[in-house]
Amino acid sequence: MEVSSRIDQRSGMELRPVRFEPDFAPHASGSVLACFGKTRVICAATLEPSVPRWMQAQGVEGGWMTAEYSMLPYSTLDRKKRDIAKGKQDGRSVEIQRLIGRSLRAVADLKKLPGHTLWIDCDVLQADGGTRTASITGAYVAAESAVRRAIAAGKLESSPFIDSVAAVSVGFSGDNALLDLCYEEDRDADVDANIVMTGGGRFVEAQASGEEATFSHGQLLELLDLAAAGIRELTALQEKALASLA
């Protein structure tokens, strides 16, 4: 496809400019500002010496990882009401934070978090599409940095992570497959998908849907291949960000 066919002049196979700024939240055990183009998410990890009551009641060994996600009121063009003002949590936020938690637990051995819970808070500063994928990708960086510091401080014996995890959006606009959709592309896409994968190339989750459109088996495979290529790039950027902590 022509480079000029996308809003920001990217090729179909090109990520938005991606940047990780570690230690963005100084009071967190580990944190990062994850920037995917104009989308910016603060991901902060906090290690607490406790586990959920259900684990205690059921005698489950190890620890837990969980996430919370929110979009700050000024993250979108029109002010978004806080959940507390509505009296209940937004259904979309619940879905996304569960996805973030599942993604992290998929690459973790929770028995290596004995008696601890690793909380990941993802707060969207600015939304321009792909907030859930940016949150997952940044959450791993924050969580891994928190774990490394806990090991150095003698709070954990070893890392619970057995692999890294990252996510990216893909979609079709007409016959053109696009990687890492911005808001306008996501809004207008005929097909869009969010793909979560490990650094080793295994799938954690794949969410794909047509918007007044259908897609073929071949198109789905094309999207998965495109996402895999993008996640390989994201994995390298995660590793670079974590290396800067040493």
Domains and CATH numbers, the chain: 3-243 (3.30.230.70)
Phi and psi torsions of 125, nearest 5° = -80, -40
Cα 11 from Cα 36, distance rounded (Å): 16
pTM of the predicted protein model: 0.92
Cα 106 from Cα 122, distance rounded (Å): 18
Which residue bears the tokens 């994968």?
197
pLDDT beyond 70 at 1: no
| Cβ atoms of 165 and 197 closer than 8 Å | yes
Q: Mind listing the pLDDT tens digit for each residue in 64-74?
A: 999 999 988 77
Q: Mind listing the pLDDT tens digit for each residue in 34-48?
A: 999 999 999 999 999
Alpha helices in 24-130 (DSSP H): 53-58, 83-86, 91-106
Q: Mind listing the pLDDT tens digit for each residue in 54-113?
A: 999 998 999 999 999 998 877 877 777 777 666 667 788 899 999 999 999 999 999 999
